[in-house]
Structure 1
Amino acid sequence: MAGKVLSLLPPLLLAAAGLAGLLLLCVPTRDVREPPALKYGIVLDAGSSHTSMFIYKWPADKENDTGIVGQHSSCDVHGGGISSYADNPSRAGRSLVECLDQALQQVPKERHRDTPLYLGATAGMRLLNMTSPEASANVLAAVTQTLTQYPFDFRGAHILSGQEEGVFGWVTANYLLENFIKTHGFHPCWPRGYSAQVLPRDVYASPCAAAQQPQAFNSSARVSLSGASDPALCRSLVAGLFNFSSCRFSRCSFNGIFQPPVAGKFIAFSAFFYTMDFLRTVMGLSVATVQQLEAAVVTVCNQTWSELQARAPGQRAHLPHYCAGAMFVQQLLSRGYGFHERAFGGVTFQKKAGDAAVGWALGYMLNLTNLIPAEPPALRKGTDFGAWVVLVLLSTILLLAATVLLLCRACAAKVSSAI
């Protein structure tokens, strides 16, 4: 009897396995979206004083066909801006290598080929392009040669207009929130005791000095300029940058550009932030009101070179320019844009918003992601939890039954051999 039962177990188990297979085919399934992969983009912000690299990332499938972009990482290039290498363009390209090597490590290798890489040059290169288009082209060619040696999808190195830089900066800020010289032998905006050798072509390229350019001069000869620590003269030179005499509209800011009354909240970033941060943290001055800002600017412009070096010995490269920068910021905000005391309270000076740096680079990338097609989402088949539990239990029972059958057969074989 036991032998007959044992002989029936294999077909019964096979039938049960077949039934389990049929049940498995009949269990309803649904498409389950896999977590989206990430895409990456790289923007090199080639400013006048330095270059920064930003790596951005967003879901490959996007949302509403628009990339949700966040900052992945950043890298500051050592040395000055690429325009400072006008006399040695190849150095401009080499200066980028360290940060680009970092990008190779931080962007997954399988994403290198489809990661767009852009270089946008701003004020320094705009000025160089005005004074020496050939030198500007050579610098861009040198950085292009370096960038094309990397496995990323290089999309070009371009000089952004001031309007483009402003628009992309505006986009960035909203998204994240849901030098000039007068050639009279001294520089009124530089601190007394400081001097530098400069090229006349750089001097006369300044808006403040263009009208004083002689008809003929040796553009390669160097002239010596010394600081004068003269805030009043510095202010008059800066004020000359703004034209308030003509306006075709009901009201204008300056240079005939329409501007409604300032109201609401504003974010000032980049050079605005670094200038105000210097006044607050290094100089220890209060700049909460328009009057305090004006007094702070006069204070910093009255400083001598030795006094400034004593306050910030680690910022020697930028110290000569804080007076001019602060004077421009003060004049632009108070006279240019018309920020009165109450409106000035709505301006915040920020370096970051959230985890991303505020500047034009993210706005640029946001615009670019709309031109990058979304990848279709990855799908897999999934079952309901209850059905999955039943199938697991059935498989477990069949496995146990097969184990028992094997044990019974082994025992029966031993009994038969004993008899």
Structure 2
Amino acid sequence: MPKPSVVLYLLSLGALLAPVLHSVQSGMSGLILDNVHSAHPVLPGTDIPLRTSWTGLALLDVNFSVMICVFYVILDPHNLSLFIQGGHFFGLWMAAWILVLLESVPSIKGSTNTRPPRRSRKYVIWGLIMEFMTVAFGLPAWCASNLQQSPIEPRAASSPCSASSLDIAEIKMLPWSFVLSTGIPTFLMLICRPDAEAALFSQQTWILLRLFHPLLFATAHGLLITKSQRSREQNCSRQEDPGTEQARELNKLYTVAFWIAAIPHLLVISGVLFAKFFPRLLPAPIVASLSVGALWPVASIWRSVFVKVESTQQGVALFMTANEIISTVALLVWAWNRGGAAIPKSGRNGQQSLRIGFWKAIFLASIFGPGAAAVAYVQHRNAVLQQMTLSDNKKR
């Protein structure tokens, strides 16, 4: 049976090739590129001029313009089903991004190097890959790399003060960094007008800036932690129970990731069920937009291999559906294997607790969605590790 990391790498490779080939075969890439290279490029479905000059580098500007076209189509509330689908996928992606941040923190315990680990900014590269080369490619690749290069040793994550290179003050800065780097650009991207003349108030500008949120996050976090005067050693020395405060703060962030994935899923599913059982209470176009087939046109993906898409909106919907499916599968495979690798096979109680967490995750997936379930399973792993450490300390 192939290793999970190999499966995830293959999934990532397939996600890189299949959507590109599909977008070419279905005609979606042709529709967007013809518009971008035209004498008077406009945003899809409008007569609003598309800004195509950003850096002066032709290839880079074309890439930026294509991204702006794709995201504008998703953000246009007139494309209601696509707008809702985008919100659902955004929740999954942001929850996955928080997991990337938390799980990319270098570990101290178990390392033969006595020096403190060098602060890694690899998550910035991974985040940019996911934004500019699709989440479906970047997330499985990160999951595979995370499982392969930094396997969790049993109980290594149970004492965060000895296992994480982030101290309490730095952990507390993570939510603020997330708000500054992702929350504010996303909010401005939603409220600004695409036809605004001033670049600062243009939706096109904020669509582009939000794509760089991993870099903005690293910058914001670096600036915020310089204001902190408490060191990691001082934090650890004040704790009677090693890692308790740090574990509690980290657990809060996992909880935030859970609800970021869960709330959009609950809203979408509630809307779908309401439209199905009470269709007369809603206008017909809204009922049509809230059908499962309209939100996730899975059947149309295969059909579009042989039949050209009629609009950019249709092509983007198919592209995003494939991205969401692949990303969800990768996240679930990673969470399951990440949890299993953390508990020693000889630890009967730990393995039993992990199985309970698995069934709990299945239950949560049926209500809050697979993204939230993956976060909950990893969070349960942390709780099991913490409990095992406390039990060992009592025996000593």
Give the TM-score taking structure 2 as reference length.
0.25
Of Structure 1 and Structure 2, which has the larger fraction of its residues in helix? 2
Give the TM-score taking structure 1 as reference length.
0.24
Structure number with higher relative contact order (C-alpha < 8 Å, ≥ 6 residues apart): 2
- When Rg is computed on C-alpha atoms for both structures, the one with the higher figure is 1
Of Structure 1 and Structure 2, which has the larger fraction of its residues in strand? 1
